[in-house]
Structure 1
């Protein structure tokens, strides 16, 4: 269910990560190599990036398959940034949210994506949703599981939790409420990347040109790619990657 990627490093054209590599996100939309659930990611796509001097990212999102959007091909060829987060979507279930359900979700300096599915959605997360202020529920961009996960993460970020802690606590809370869920979450603030491996593949690469890349799967066959173990929190910046184990919630 979905593929996503984030990178932080020297200024680079977005396409150098998304479309130029032989197995970049563009190709992963129809031929992912390591996706464990689903086969084609054609239910929307998006990319978010940061401009110099502006902490609030820009986004480009659409509801259809990325391979049919020539504007996207032009955009990623010419736009350069130090940080990006992009995703292609395989919807958990049918809906009418269109591009509003496509990652990255955003608020302030943050970009967010979810690769996976919440087991028993939406009933399983109703108790957690009731804990959110009504105003936050009314502001949800879409009615999909990823949008609610973003609301749960965002609440923690706004309370001052660092991104890694916000993701880890959200994953453990949701996994306790909906066992069997796949919760690969990804967030960036423009300088750091945090991600979880929980039920699907996650990889990282540290390279002088590309910077630090965190992705659902490698976009080429560089032997320096490292697979992140399942049930792991990853926190990364330009200097490298730090991994911490996540424990299954007690039942």
Structure 2
């Protein structure tokens, strides 16, 4: 499947979070410890927001992240307070640029690790539930992008957790209509440029790994000599598929069937329960 990270906090160079950690996302592209596959080389993508643009910038490519010279060059020059980064291991759909994460629509970005089991059987039914005004903007062939557009259809702009819950509920209902016992496996992140919502859920109750970083203030007390912790704000937070290193006290597992919100002020953690809207 895939590995990803989401960062929100003090503006930093992309290099700081993508290359410098001991078990960085670049290292995970070759040596993942917690993923289904050790190697995640079926494309990559990064997305970020600049100070004056409402829509995010994207760089996506079909090659592996570990040897992409454009990504290495970009990482030394792009600074942002909000980054998404994703390395892909295909679950069966084509290795092509339009299938690389993050996906973008307007101000929104979305990325996913996991799969819809039986997607080939239920793809038509799911796509037919996408708002016709959004359908033409679907560029690729992945289950992940269909999940994103279903969430947009179900009101992502109004209430992101409810929209994702509706998407997940519909996927499960359609999947079971097709005889799939456990249709959905997902850890996903989405943002509109200010908040980050991250979800960990699976129909079988055995979701892929997901972690969030501890509060910076607490980490400063544990590790007063670390320069990075002195340079970032108390609100800086990372959400990752697997820890970027082994710093004691730095990483916390996201509970099964839950979602978190990273935002200005206090972050939140809630239980996640899918539901299928009757209108669908």
Aligned to 2:69: 70
Question: Quick one: which of 106, 109, 116 aligns to 1:108?
Answer: 106
Question: Quick one: which of 120, 129, 144 aligns to 1:146?
Answer: 144
Aligned to 1:31: 31
Deviation at 1:175, TM superposition (A): 3.0
Give matches, 1:106-185, under 5 Å: 106-157=104-155, 160-178=157-175, 179-185=182-188
Query: Counterparts of 1:239 and 1:22 in 2: how far apart (Å)?
Result: 29
Runs (4+) off by over 6 Å = none
- Greater shift after overlay, 40-49 or 183-192? 183-192
Query: Contact 1:51 / 1:81 at 8 angstroms: preserved in 2?
Result: yes
Q: Higher Cα Rg: structure 1 or 2?
A: 2
- 1:31-74 per-residue CA deviation (whole Å, 9 max, x = no partner) reads 11221x22211111000001111111101000010112111011
Q: 1:224 to 1:239 in 2, by over 3 A?
A: farther
Tell me the matched-pair count. Answer: 247
Query: Counterparts of 2:258 and 2:129 in 1: how far apart (Å)?
Result: 26
- 1:172-207 per-residue CA deviation (whole Å, 9 max, x = no partner) reads 332333324211121011111001112211111133
Q: Does 1:188 align with 2:188?
A: no
Aligned to 1:204: 212
Query: Contact 1:47 / 1:104 at 8 angstroms: preserved in 2?
Result: yes
TM-score (norm 2): 0.82
Deviation at 1:16, TM superposition (A): 0.9
Q: Secondary structure at the match of 1:172?
A: helix
- Greater shift after overlay, 201-210 or 146-155? 201-210
Unaligned runs of 5+ in 2: 176-181, 202-206, 217-228
Deviation at 1:116, TM superposition (A): 0.4
- Greater shift after overlay, 208-217 or 75-84? 208-217
Query: Counterparts of 1:60 and 1:76 in 2: how far apart (Å)?
Result: 11
Query: Contact 1:175 / 1:181 at 8 angstroms: preserved in 2?
Result: yes
Higher relative contact order (CA 8 A, sep 6+): 1
Query: Contact 2:210 / 2:240 at 8 angstroms: preserved in 1?
Result: yes
Q: Secondary structure at the match of 1:122?
A: helix
Query: Counterparts of 2:168 and 2:266 in 1: how far apart (Å)?
Result: 23
Q: Does 1:218 align with 2:216?
A: no
Query: Counterparts of 1:240 and 1:167 in 2: how far apart (Å)?
Result: 22
- 1:74-125 per-residue CA deviation (whole Å, 9 max, x = no partner) reads 10122100101110000110425x1110001001111100100110012234
- Greater shift after overlay, 49-58 or 232-241? 232-241
User: Over the residues paired in the alignment, what is the CA RMSD in angstroms?
Assistant: 2.0
Query: Counterparts of 1:52 and 1:177 in 2: how far apart (Å)?
Result: 41
Deviation at 1:248, TM superposition (A): 6.4
